[in-house]
Structures are given as structure tokens and as C-alpha cells.
Amino acid sequence: NEWKTRYQTQHQINEQLEKQRIMLQDKLQNFRETSKNGNRQLQKRSNKEELSD
């Protein structure tokens, strides 16, 4: 009975960790995309400023 309880508890923890992993992976992907887009915009601004000088 003790092992069954341990198994069930560990299974629940593993499910929670997997949900957290997926959530963090999504956040990281969004951050990377935002960073790429932000860097592109900064490069465009920088290029425009260089051309106007």
C-alpha cells in the first residue's frame, strides 16, 4: 500500500513537472521570437540612422 501511494504521488509530481516544462519551453520560444523581432527592428532603425547621416 505504501508503494502504491508513493507511485501515485510521484506520478502526480511528474505530471506537474511536465506541464511546467512545456510552459517554460513555450515562454522561452516566445522570448526568442520577440528578441529576434526586436533585434531586427533595432537593426532597421540603426541602418536608417546611418543612411541619414
* pTM for this prediction: 0.63
Cell numbers placing 16: 506537474
Q: Which of 29, 30, 22 is nearest to 14 (CA)?
A: 22
Q: Which helix (H) or strand (E) holds 38?
A: helix 2-52
Report pLDDT digits (tens) over 1-53.
999 999 999 999 999 999 999 999 999 999 999 888 877 776 677 776 666 66
